Each structure stands twice: as C-alpha cells, then as structure tokens.
C-alpha cells in the first residue's frame, strides 16, 4: 500500500494505537518517549504488530529503495 501511495502521489494514513507505548512510566509522554511494552504479554501480538506497522511505514517513506520485504513460512513436523 505504501508503494502504491508513493507511485500515485496519494496520501497514506496508517491507523495506529497508543497500545504501542505499553504501560507508560512517564506522564504525559513526550514525543521522544519510546514506550514500555511487554513483548510477551497477553496483548503482545496486537501491540507489536502495530509497532511493526509504524516502523515499516516510516522506514519505507525514508528509504523506499532499500525496502525488500519477503514472507517466510515455517513448517513444523507433527509429533
């Protein structure tokens, strides 16, 4: 989607969440605050996927020619 937005000169909006900051240790949070996320907590999949989305979107728009994303599947033997 970000590639299409760049090619067509369209605006791109990534809807994120405050969940990416976890349980903040600082109130209010300045723009420089990196967060306090538990990467193995019960909601970690949601928190970390949103954080990854922000990171990948930001990285693409900063360095579009350096992005090479591939998907790898893992297969496990049945026991």
The predicted model scores a pTM of 0.65
- pLDDT of 79 reads 45
| Per-residue model confidence (pLDDT) at position 68 | 54
Q: Distance from first CA to last CA of the chain, Å, rounded?
A: 39
Active site residues per annotation: 46
| In the chain, domain spans | 2-66
- How does pLDDT run across 4-31, given as a tens digit for each residue? 888 898 888 888 888 888 888 888 888 8
Instruction: Give pLDDT tens digits for 15-73.
Output: 888 888 888 888 888 888 888 888 898 888 998 999 899 888 888 888 767 655 544 44
- Of 17, 11, 59, nearest to 69 by C-alpha is 59
């Amino acid at each position: 989607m970000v590639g299409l937005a760049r090619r067509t000169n369209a605006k791109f909006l990534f809807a994120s969440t405050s969940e990416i900051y976890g349980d903040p240790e600082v109130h209010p949070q300045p723009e420089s605050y990196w967060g306090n996320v538990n990467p193995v907590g019960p909601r970690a999949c949601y928190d970390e996927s949103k954080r990854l989305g922000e990171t990948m979107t930001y990285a693409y728009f900063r360095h579009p020619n350096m992005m090479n994303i591939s998907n790898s599947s893992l297969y496990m033997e049945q026991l």
